[in-house]
Every structure is written in structure tokens, then in C-alpha cells.
Amino acid sequence: MTHRPAFALAVAATSTAVCMSVIAGWQRGGWLSERLVWVAVSVVLIGGAHLLPALCRSAPFAVRGIGTLLWLGCMAAASWGHATFFLLSQSHAGEMRMSAVSIARAPPHRSLTAVMAERASVAAGLAVADAQHCIRDCPTLRVRRTSLAARLDALDAEVTDVRRYKAIEDSNASHRDAARNDPVTARMAVLRGVVDARLELLTSLVFAAVLEGMACLLWCIALLTHGRSPDTDRRDPVPVVTTDVPDVTMADVSIVAIVPAVTEPETEVTKLRRDIEAGLLRPTVTSIRKRLGCSQAKAAALRKLLIDPTA
């Protein structure tokens, strides 16, 4: 059977889409009741997006038009839910990659702003000490100058250490950011000159649209081949009925002969039956008379044959 591979792929695509929508809907809700409602809505939208084209294929034109609008809405909502799933999964994967990155630990230290402020104060005190002239207590002034100079050197060394620690922290942050972003998306963003977030959203929507479109096509193929076989397409199961053509009364209408379908490819009864099954014609005398342009008696006879071919 040719429909089995298409049916299996359609079931797999729909199951995958349902799982993704369930996870996305569960993440959207807060309370348990809200999450359950989101999940139910997502499943219904997935079913509509995948099965509406196949179910509305033989419906009347008005129903197909409404079904097309609903299908577009289902496709947009389902793609949005899939994009939510893709972005959430990418965020979770980025967090896991960030936690796995080995980073260099910097010891606790003061901020560069605090160290530079203290250094400025010490440098100002040393400048004042250098400007003083020794009159009586010269050893005390020399000790003060030496102490301030030593503190200034220590602060210079601390500034160097703080800058090195800051470089280590910046390197750790850059490594975490690089691990958080998807490698392919990051490189594509650099090549295209766009922001990583925009490219991730675009790729998520593309993946969602491809999945939904493939599922719709597979269900159309599966239901088409499942409901129709080559043998039934080649032969016409409806017998051909020959009736009296002139306008006569109901009492004068007579059935001439019932012959197999092989002697005449298609008759009025066959055409009417096909139009009724396609939803293009109502099985009433008035509708048959308007379609064929025949008399009331002939339309009534044809309707009787449609209802009971053995009559």
C-alpha cells in the first residue's frame, strides 16, 4: 500500500509537533489550570493546522474558504508555539553550555575606582609633604614623605593587579557569552551582519513553518491514497440508465434499458451523482431541472433513479 509510508511520516510529524506545542504551552502558563488550558489549545491548533486541508478538500466552496482562513490562523499560532519551544530550548542549552565552561577564578579585590580614588588622595598628600620646608622637625617630615611614597607604590601595584583581575573577569564573561550562543547561529549572524537574537527568531520560525507544511502535505497524501485506490478510479460502479428525453408527464416516463457502464462512459445520472457527492448539487427536483435545463417530469424521474437505481 502506497499510503503507509506517508501515513507513518504524517503521524510522526504530528506527534513531534504536538510534543513541542505541549512543552511550549506548559512554559507559558503560571497556574496548573492555565498550563492545562494552554496545552489543550496547542493540541487543537496543531490538529487544525495539519488536518484541515485534507478534511476540507471535498467540501463546498464556502466551507473551503472558511477552512482556509482557519487553517492560516492555525498555522500562524502553531508556528509561533514552535518558535517559543525552539527559543526556550536554545536558552536552556546555552545555560548548560555556560555552566560547563571552565573559568579562571580571580581573588577578591577592590574595584578599580576605589583604588584610584585612594591613590589620588595619597599622591596629593605626598605633594603637600614635598612642598613643605624643613625648619625644625626634619626627621618627621622625611618619614612622612617616605611613608606616602611607599603607599603610592603599593597602590600602583594594586591598580596593576585590579586591572589584571578585570581582564580575567572580562575573558570569563566573553567565554560564557560565546558558549551561550548557538555556534552556527553566531557565525551566521557575523556573516550576515545581524543580531543573534533576530537570527535565532528567524530560524525558529523557518523550522516551524517547514514542519507544519510537511505535516499538512503528508496528511493530504495519506488520506488521499487511503481513501481511493486505482481500481475504484478505473471503473464506474453506478449503472447507466437511459430514459425518455422528450418532455412528457410522469405517467409517460419509461425506463428503456439498464446497460453496463462499459457501453456508455457517462450519463446524466452519473454526472448528477458525482456533483451531489462533491457538494455542488442538491438532490432535489428543482436543482436537477436547473442544472440540466430539462422538464419537471424528467427531473423527477432522474431524482428517482438517483435515490433507487434499481427502480
- The CA distances from residue 33 to 37, 41, 84, 286, in Å, are 6, 12, 20, 54
Contacts of 273 (CB under 8 A, 6+ apart): 238, 306
pTM for the full predicted model: 0.48
Residue 281 lies in a domain: yes
| Report for 100-109, 129-138, 272-281: range of highest mean pLDDT | 272-281
Residues 92, 36 within the same domain: yes
- Given the C-alpha cell 496545552, which residue does it identify? 39
User: Using a CB cutoff of 8 Å and minimum separation of 24, what contacts does 265-273 make?
Assistant: 265/236, 266/236, 266/240, 267/240, 267/241, 267/242, 268/292, 268/302, 269/238, 269/240, 269/241, 269/302, 269/305, 269/306, 269/309, 270/236, 270/238, 270/240, 272/302, 272/306, 273/238, 273/306
- DSSP class of 104: P
Residue 163 confidence (pLDDT) above 80:
yes
Residues 94, 202 within the same domain: yes
Residues 48, 197 within the same domain: yes
Residues 98, 212 within the same domain: yes
Residues 90, 194 within the same domain: yes
Residue 107 lies in a domain: no
Across residues 219-247, what is the average pLDDT? 53
Residues 218, 80 within the same domain: yes
For residue 68, the Cα-to-chain-centroid distance in whole angstroms is 18
Percentage with pLDDT > 70 across the chain: 78
Across residues 164-176, what is the average pLDDT? 79
Q: Whole-number mean pLDDT of the chain?
A: 76
Residue 155 lies in a domain: yes
**Which tens digit of pLDDT belongs to each residue from 1-58?**
457 788 888 888 888 888 888 888 888 888 888 889 888 888 888 888 888 888 887 7
- In this structure, the strands spanning 255-259 and 240-243 are antiparallel
What is the structure's pLDDT at 206?
85
Q: How confident is the model at residue 212 (pLDDT cuts 50, 70, 90)?
A: confident
Across residues 172-194, what is the average pLDDT? 69
- Among 169, 199, 226, where does a domain finish? 226
Q: What is the largest CA-CA distance in the chain?
A: 150
Higher-pLDDT residue of 183, 263: 183
Residues 239, 201 within the same domain: no
CB of 172 within 8 A of CB of 103? yes
Specify the number of domains making up the chain. Answer: 3
Q: Which helix (H) or strand (E) holds 212?
A: helix 196-227
Residues 18, 148 within the same domain: no
Residues 71, 127 within the same domain: no
Residue 233 confidence (pLDDT) above 70:
no
Higher-pLDDT residue of 69, 269: 69
- Among 226, 255, 286, where does a domain finish? 226
Residues 147, 284 within the same domain: no
Residues 9, 138 within the same domain: no
Q: How confident is the model at residue 310 (pLDDT cuts 50, 70, 90)?
A: low
Residue 260 confidence (pLDDT) above 50:
no
Residue 257 belongs to domain spanning? 235-307
**Which tens digit of pLDDT belongs to each residue from 288-303?**
887 777 888 888 888 8
Residues 153, 211 within the same domain: no
Q: How confident is the model at residue 230 (pLDDT cuts 50, 70, 90)?
A: very low
